[in-house]
C-alpha cells in the first residue's frame, strides 16, 4: 500500500471489537466504528527488520492501517481515537476514496496521495518526512511541529483579516473605521511576515 516496499507488507486483519474493549469511546465515536467501518487491516509495518532504516530514538515502528469503509462518510473520530490510544506511529488509508490520515498536533488528511517515500536514515526522520508528505505535500521533515503551528496561525490570521475587512466596509463612524483599518493593517503585516518566513524555510 502507498507504494511502500513489499518487505513491509503485513495484511493482518484487526477485529473492530478489540477497539471497543481497549479504548474509552464516547457514543459518537463508537457509532462510527459500527456504522462506517467494515474492516481494519494492518497493511504495512515499517521498522528496521522490514525496511532499510535504522531504529529511532522515539520511533520504533510505523504502521499503515487500511480502513475499508461501508460507504462514503469518513470515520474521523474513530481514526483519531485509534491513533490516540496506540503507542505506534500510525498512518491511515481509507478505501474507497483513498484519503490518507495521520495524527500529529491534530488530525491531518491528504486526498489523492498515491505513494509515500521513505526518507531518513532512522525512523525518527522517516516519520517526520512521512508527516510532511501528508500534511505539506513535500518530503522535508525539518521542524514539522513548527510548520504545523505556523500554518494554523496563518489560517487564523486569514480568517481575522477577512472579518476585519468586512467590518471596515460596514463601519459608518470614522473613528471606528480608522480603528478597524489599523487592526487590519497590523494583521496583514503579521501575515506577510509569517508567510515570508515559511517561504524562506521552503527554499
Residue spans of the domains in the chain: they are 6-141, 146-202
In contact, 36 and 71? CB cutoff 8 Å: yes
Q: At residue 199, does pLDDT exceed 70?
A: no
The pLDDT tens digits of the residues spanning 21-31 come to 777 888 999 99
Confidence bin at 152 (pLDDT 50/70/90):
confident
Q: At residue 134, does pLDDT exceed 90?
A: yes
Distance CA 25, CA 81 (A): 8
Q: What is the mean pLDDT of the chain?
A: 91
Distance CA 168, CA 174 (A): 10
DSSP 123-144: HHHHHHHHHHHHHTSS---TTH
Average pLDDT over residues 100-123: 95
More confident residue, 101 or 18: 101
Distance (Å) of CA 125 to CA 53, 61, 118, 174, 177: 10, 12, 9, 54, 49
Beta strands at 107-111 and 9-14: parallel, antiparallel or unpaired: unpaired
In contact, 62 and 87? CB cutoff 8 Å: no
Provide the pLDDT for residue 46.
Answer: 97
For the record, the C-alpha cell of 2 comes out as 502507498
> Does residue 100 come out as left (phi exceeding 0), alpha (psi in the -120 to 50 range) or beta?
beta
Provide the pLDDT for residue 203.
Answer: 53
Amino acid at each position: 500500500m502507498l507504494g511502500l516496499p513489499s518487505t513491509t507488507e503485513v495484511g493482518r486483519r484487526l477485529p473492530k471489537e478489540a477497539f471497543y474493549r481497549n479504548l474509552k469511546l464516547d457514543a459518537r465515536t463508537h457509532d462510527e466504528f459500527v456504522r462506517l467501518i467494515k474492516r481494519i487491516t494492518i497493511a504495512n509495518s515499517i521498522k528496521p527488520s522490514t525496511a532499510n532504516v535504522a531504529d529511532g530514538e522515539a520511533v520504533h515502528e510505523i504502521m499503515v492501517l487500511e480502513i475499508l469503509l461501508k460507504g462514503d462518510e469518513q470515520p474521523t473520530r474513530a481514526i483519531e481515537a485509534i491513533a490516540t490510544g496506540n503507542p505506534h506511529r500510525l498512518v491511515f488509508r481509507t478505501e474507497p476514496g483513498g484519503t490518507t490520515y495521520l495524527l500529529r498536533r491534530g488530525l491531518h488528511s491528504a486526498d489523492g496521495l498515491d505513494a509515500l517515500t521513505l526518507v531518513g536514515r532512522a525512523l525518527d526522520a522517516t516519520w517526520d518526512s512521512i508527516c510532511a508528505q501528508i500534511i505539506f505535500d513535500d518530503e522535508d521533515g525539518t521542524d514539522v511541529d513548527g510548520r504545523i503551528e505556523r500554518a494554523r496561525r496563518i489560517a487564523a490570521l486569514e480568517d481575522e483579516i477577512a472579518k476585519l475587512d468586512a467590518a471596515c466596509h460596514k463601519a459608518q463612524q470614522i473613528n471606528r473605521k480608522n480603528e478597524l483599518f489599523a487592526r487590519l493593517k497590523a494583521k496583514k503585516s503579521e501575515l506577510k511576515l509569517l508567510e515570508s518566513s515559511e517561504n524562506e524555510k521552503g527554499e
